[in-house]
Amino acid sequence: MLGKVLTSLLLLAVFFYEPAEAQKKKETLLSEKVTQMMEWASKRSVIKMNGDKFRRFVKAPPRNYSVVIMFTALQPQRQCGVCRQADEEFQVLANSWRFSSAFTNKVFFASVDFDEGSDVFQMLNMNSAPTFLHFPSKGKPRRSDTYELQVRGFAAEQLARWVADRTDVQIRVIRPPNYAGPLLLGFLLAVIGGLAYLRRHNLEFLFNTNVWAFSALCFVLIMTSGQMWNHIRGPPYAHKNPSTGQVLNKPPWIIMASLCTI
């Protein structure tokens, strides 16, 4: 009788020990992965990944963090100008998150270059770049986890809204100071001031209807051609359709030229 009791207790101990040991190993592995991701993020806001890193830290469980990845082709021989523009905006977004007081290990930003991780492109059946994908902490990516680049553009602010929608993480985009605008404005004001000073005795040009008509026409063309929308949303200048191979260009200049001929 005593032997049966001891055998039962031993079986129960083994039964509960194995799941507990497996859970402990899982937690240890997860802790190591999070620690490694945090270490990489402390050095670079956008973690560079190859096939091995992608499979281990993004695809393989366990994982309690989301990863936003830009799939790109930045090598000069790829001649992807849009990729460089998108990379700059992605860097702005990642830096804004990394240096934010709200930074946590809930979301990481990474990139996979085609020349360093072509196997990842094949794994995901991806044939165009740049492409932004969100890999949630639980479950598989859904259709909404693919960023609609052609609709939203690649401006950091638009990417931040998409990230907030997918992860509930609000990122305030902080851009580095750009002095080109103030310098250009100062130069323009200096030119206008210089012309006004040189012609201070004859300011009839300020009341010239042709000057004001030309200025108004330029303003109308900029607004009606969609150029202002492009300036705000930052879509790529040209994009190649992976299905048909057709290259799609921005239409504002075409529309502007058409309006000028009317």
Is residue 230 within 8 Å of residue 249, measured between CB atoms?
no
Residue 225 sits at the vertex; the CA angle it makes with 221 and 231, to the nearest 5 degrees, is 100
Cα–Cα distance for residue pair 238/249, rounded to 1 Å: 4
Residue-by-residue DSSP string for 125-149:
T--SSSEEEEE-SSS---GGGB--H
Per-residue pLDDT tens, the chain, 262 aa: give them: 555 655 655 555 445 545 666 678 888 889 999 999 999 999 999 999 999 999 999 998 888 999 999 999 999 888 888 899 999 999 999 999 999 988 999 999 999 999 998 999 999 998 888 999 999 988 888 999 999 988 888 899 999 999 999 999 999 998 877 777 788 888 888 887 787 777 667 767 667 788 788 888 878 777 776 666 666 665 555 555 544 545 555 566 666 666 666 6
